[in-house]
Amino acid sequence: MKVETKFQNIAYRLAKSFDQPGETRSLKWIMRPLLQLITRGMPVSVEDIASETGKSVDEIRDTLSALPSVELDEQGRVIGCGLTLVPTPHRFWVEEKQLYTWCALDTLMFPQLIGRSAYIESPCHSSGTPVRLTVEPERIVSVVPSSAVVSIVTPDDMSSVRSAFCNEVHYFSSASKAQKWLDQHPGASVVSVEDAFELGRLLGRQFENGFDMQSCCDV
């Protein structure tokens, strides 16, 4: 299988896991505006999302209740959906606002979806050595160390994306630093940061364009 085809299939499976029965491509209309609102660095109310998307408050509430792993505060405001206000190992700065992401792949995907550059710092999952990146919507500007890689898993059960996928997608400072983790995760792999960026772009397009398996797998 071509690398591109493999990545397209992974992107499809991940994006499809968000497509809830009874919803009409919910992430197709909510993901980008929701992420852009979260970049303000404050909890996002359903009224904020309704104003941004032109949907009703009730429709926003119904959609949020169906999204897997979405993080809400005590007032029912969104504080995380991939991009989060809740601290994680993956720090994500946008114009001096410090945010976080659920996994390493998110850090590479979200600059495209929010249309803004980001500075990222995430520890090597093995050694703790910081991996630092600057990522623009259309390209990676810098990666330190240049040998850094990203772990990728393809679980069969995607009912909980965060636990099944995100919690296993890490930065490593090099492929050799990832070897012990790979030995403990049969079927997993590591890819270059550049390849992970391309996977993130494919996944972002699935969120934006819907879940068309035919177009996903045509190469």
Which of 48, 81, 106, 124 is the catalytic position? 106
Distance from C-alpha of 148 to C-alpha of 173, rounded to nearest angstrom: 4
Which of 48, 81, 103, 216 is the catalytic position? 103
Q: Is 195 a catalytic residue?
A: no
CA dihedral 199, 140, 99, 122 (to 10 degrees): 80
Residues 6+ apart with CB under 8 A from 216: 8, 9, 11, 12, 206
DSSP characters over 129-179? -EEEEEEETTEEEEEESTT-EEEE---S--SSHHHHTGGG--EESSTGGGH
Q: Is 166 a catalytic residue?
A: yes
**Inter-helix orientation angle 193-209/26-38, to 10°:** 120
Query: Rg of the chain over CA atoms, in angstroms?
Result: 17
Which of 48, 81, 124, 166 is the catalytic position? 166
DSSP annotation of 77 reads -
Distance from C-alpha of 25 to C-alpha of 168, rounded to nearest angstrom: 26
Q: Is 216 a catalytic residue?
A: no
Residues 6+ apart with CB under 8 A from 51: none
SS3 64: helix
C-alpha closest to that of 123 among 86, 166, 171: 171
Q: Would you please indicate which residues are annotated as catalytic (active-site) residues?
A: 103, 106, 166
